[in-house]
Structure 1
Amino acid sequence: MQAKPASRPGAPARPSGDGAAAISFALVKGAPDACGPGCDSWIAAEGKIDNSAAARFRKFMKQIGDRKLPIYFNSPGGNLEQALAIGNILREKKASVRVGRTTLQECGLEPQEGEACTRLKQSGRELHGDVWTRGAICNSACPYLILGASSREIAPDVTLAVHSPRVILNFTGGVPSRELRAQAMQRAMERSDKMVLGYMARLGADPGLLTVARSVPFEGMRILTREEIARFALDRRDRVESSWMFEAAARGIVYKTILSRQDGETSFRTMRLQLVCFDQDRFELDVERNAPTGLGGAGLVLASGNAKLNFLWPPRRSGDRETWGVFLNAGQIRALAAAPLVEFGDAGANAARPKLGPFPVASDGLQSALKRLADTCPPSKAVAQPPGAAVPRTQGSSPQAAAQPAP
């Protein structure tokens, strides 16, 4: 009896992954700055890494020529050998890689993952759309291919996850014994590990990523922490900031996520910003962050150009997190969007003037996100108020603060 193990490591563990379409590569054009400052075009790589993915990717890259475009992967994983081959192509091309999901305008009301939209993605046409990070995934074999890129940017609101490879064994000459099957499985896993370790050695990558993956059965999935993403060099940045994005949920929101750590710190801190509207002239900005220590009675200040606004103290607290809120009118919102960045800082409650900390927040994406938010806002309601009065709250909104000039 002859055993012929045929490995197919890295297929996705989630049920939705097994039915995913084969990975497609499409050239997409969006609005100005859709993929970052000065970037309006990108390559969308969407779907499961199948047995011919690397050949199709090489052909696609040859077709687009010397254009240096970021590549956004959104994949549940798939064939490990093909993922490593794609990683080698990325290295050859000195590519810039990110994780994000692309929505195409040409799909209209069709589901983005439906058959009609998938055919569009595989058509080779230049398409039009938007790219999003929240909800995007790069799982199973996908993180390995990311390592091949010269530039790797992993947004703070995407998911990277790993697990042990899946190995399929084919035997000829009869039914193998349990012992023979176990031996064949062990050899196949050793071959898979050797292949990945050789790839990582050529890239100078940390083999700890494979150690983490092998600690999780194929049926499970281990989501990588931000600390692991940095340690395994998937993205070494100590500050990671998403663009401002609009989401049409039950209530339209504009949001942004920032992860950061200071020199010498091992853990990242998370700041989430969320903007909602009550009408065309009344907006609320909420800031959720780790509660700072040693700042008894401190408040939060926002500065944009010559304008400074105080978030009214105290914030809402939940465990080691705190949420601050401030009201803004339409003019203040427009000024916020027009500034290249704003600053947040802590201020002592009894200070004559607040001392801003060096915490700049970029405004990229804010103008287009605000335009989409404004389209969902009801008309303004004129409300007579004395100067300096707090903007009245809408029922159900969070009890936070009105916009107040900083002293």
Structure 2
Amino acid sequence: MVSRLAAIDDGNIIRAAFFALLIGTASVLYVDFRELALSEPAALAPALTPILPPADPGSGVEGRPMPHITSSPETLDAPLAITLESGGDLKLAGTIDPGSAIRFRTEIEQRGEYVKTVVLDSPGGSVMDALEIGALIQEKGLATKVAAGNLCASSCPIIFASGAERLASADSAIGVHQIYAASLGEASRDAMAVAGVAMADAQSTTAEITRHLTKSGVDPALWLHALDTPPDRLYYFSREEMQRLKLVTQLIEN
């Protein structure tokens, strides 16, 4: 028996543990939604869809040092601004609002031959837009970067992880947290059905994020920290974690 266990590849053990945690998380979500639906059905009346909310950079996880963020709150709160800068840098600054992916694709189609690196400074936002932006970055083979004092949180690390080269300053802040369900504003008569759809969408989105990270060569175990961290908090990665999880290909010392 011992010899059989010793023969099992460590990677297979880690992957099995990762997917077991996903299943366990889904089960807990279902129980929570079911209890809420039975006790307060009106609370789940709107249809739900999973998103990653823009993060509060001050909401660090207890016991972890707070990164020094110099980005202005006004910049982070504004809808995503896309600016072509010198040296082939395309800067994405602000909240990833719905429609950001369309604007990003338009910019790449118009001036893509000049763009070499996508520079990020964002508290996150729409996860689907982040995945679409990330997919285009992968397709074009662009690099990504988070500069000193800048923030890349919530859904922003999905974009950052898409780069062929991923450069991050040792003085940048990169953090993740859980997907949560937000209202689409559509009425629903069946709160349990709404809860089931929300749970299914959250699982589907998590699977898509995992595939996206794997395609870029990033360790999907990175997303375990998102699953463990409530939506109103952030798990900031240390420089050691960024390197070990292959989130960065180069850590820039300042």
Q: Same fold (TM over 0.5)?
A: yes
In structure 2, the gaps of 5 or more residues are 1-40, 58-72
Structure 2 residue aligned with 1:215: 228
2:111 pairs, out of 59, 64, 67, with 64
Structure whose alpha-carbon radius of gyration is higher: 1
Distance 2:75 2:228 in 1: 22
Q: CA deviation at 1:4?
A: 7.7
Residues 86 and 41 from structure 1, CA distance in 2 versus in 1: closer, same or farther, beyond 3 angstroms?
closer
CA apart distance, 1:145: 1.0
Alpha-carbon distance, 1:207 to partner: 1.3
Higher relative contact order (CA 8 A, sep 6+): 2
Report if the CA contact (8 A) 1:163-1:217 is conserved.
yes
CA deviations 1:214-272 (Å, max 9, x no partner) are 100101111111122112222144xx343xxxxxxxxxxxxxx3xxxxxxxxxxxxxxx
1:10 equivalent in structure 2: 52
Match of 1:165 in 2: 179
Q: 2:143 aligns with which of 96, 101, 125?
A: 96
Alignment pair present for 1:74 and 2:121? yes
- Cα RMSD for the two superposed structures: 2.8
Contact map agreement 1:152 1:234 (CA 8 A) in 2: yes
Alpha-carbon distance in structure 1 between the residues aligned to 2:214 and 2:160: 15
Cα distance, 1:219–1:138 mapped onto 2, change above 3 Å:
same
Could you give the per-residue CA deviations for residues 127-161 of structure 1, whole angstroms, max 9, x where no partner exists? xxxxxx2x200000011111111111111100001
Which residue, 189, 193, 215 being the options, matches 2:202? 189
- Secondary structure of the residue that 1:168 maps to in structure 2? strand
CA distance in 2: counterparts of 1:152 and 1:48, whole angstroms:
20
Q: Does residue 1:51 correspond to 2:51, yes or no?
A: no
**Contact in 2 for aligned 1:42/1:69 (Cα 8 Å):** yes
**Alignment deviations for residues 283-338 of structure 1 (CA, whole Å, 9 cap, x no partner):** xxxxxxxxxxxxxxxxxxxxxxxxxxxxxxxxxxxxxxxxxxxxxxxxxxxxxxxx
CA distance in 2, matches of 1:58, 1:241: 28
Q: Which residue of 1 aligns with 2:170?
A: 156
Alignment check: 8 A CA contact 1:17 1:76 kept: no
Q: 1:112-261 maps to which residues of 2 (within 5 A)?
A: 133=148, 135-170=149-184, 171-174=186-189, 176-177=190-191, 179-180=192-193, 182-237=195-250, 240-242=251-253, 257=254
> In structure 2, do the counterparts of structure 1 residues 63 and 80 end up closer, same or farther at CA, with 3 Å as the change threshold?
same
Contact 1:10–1:141, Cα closer than 8 Å, also in 2: yes
Residue-by-residue CA offset, 1:81-133 (whole Å, 9 max, x unaligned): 11011111111111111113xxxxxxxxxxxxxxxxxxxxxxxxxxxxxxxx2
Q: Percent identity?
A: 24
Q: Distance in 1 between the 2:93 and 2:217 partners?
A: 27
Q: 1:3 to 1:193 in 2, by over 3 A?
A: farther
What are the ranges of 5 or more consecutive residues in structure 1 without an aligned counterpart? 30-39, 101-132, 243-256, 258-407
Report which of the two has the higher share of helix.
Answer: 2
Distance between the aligned counterparts of 1:63 and 1:17, measured in 2?
28
- Report the Cα distance in structure 2 between the residues aligned to 1:191 and 1:3, rounded to whole angstroms: 22
Question: 1-side partners of 2:116 and 2:75: how far apart?
Answer: 29
Match of 2:85 among 28, 41, 49: 28
Match of 2:22 in 1: none
Report if the CA contact (8 A) 1:162-1:222 is conserved.
yes
Q: How far 1:68 sits from its partner (Å)?
A: 4.2
Distance in 1 separating the partners of 2:55 and 2:196: 24
Higher strand share: 1
TM-score under structure 1 length normalisation: 0.44
Q: Give the stretch that moved more between structures: 17-26 or 89-98.
A: 17-26
Number of residues paired by the alignment? Answer: 196
Distance (whole Å) between structure 2 residues aligned to residue 50 and residue 215 of structure 1: 24
Residue 153 of structure 1 contacts residue 235 of structure 1 at CA under 8 Å; is this kept in 2? yes
Q: Which amino acid aligns with 1:54?
A: A
Equivalent pair of 1:139/1:160 in contact (CA under 8 Å): yes
Q: Which whole-Å CA distance do the structure 1 matches of 2:245 and 2:47 have between them?
A: 30
